[in-house]
Amino acid sequence: MQCLRNHSNESQDVMLLDPAGDELGDDSANVSLCLMPSIQEVTQIELSGEMPPRKASEIMELCMAGCDKIHSMMISCLTDEVMASIKS
């Protein structure tokens, strides 16, 4: 999961979860985080750029929440697919 912190406008600090290509240009900090959601274990963190420690913690929590949501969706899709193939 990738998150970035963009503060190109000093009055606005924006954190983006899984940014699109055109959103990557003006980032001040970028975090890539790998998570094993079933055991809530972070296996890799890559941080580039500058940000205060409090913001780093917030953006890592955002990445972890994104991983959890994607994990839940993947389980649901896989379960639905298996159930559909069993009924066929």
Among residues 49, 46, 51, the alpha carbon closest in space to that of 2 is found at 46
Q: What is the maximal distance between C-alpha atoms in the chain?
A: 57
d(CA 26, CA 75): 34
* CB burial string 34-52: b at 16+ within 10 A, e below: ebeeeeeeeeeeeeeeebe
What is the average pLDDT value for the chain, to the nearest integer? Answer: 82
Instruction: Dump pLDDT digits (tens) for 55-85.
Output: 888 888 888 888 888 899 999 999 999 999 9
Whole-angstrom distance, CA of residue 55 vs CA of residue 70: 23
Residue/partner pairs of 70-79 with CB below 8 Å, 24 or more apart: 70/1, 71/37, 71/38
- This prediction's pTM: 0.73
Question: Is CATH 1.20.1250.20 correct for 2-87?
Answer: no
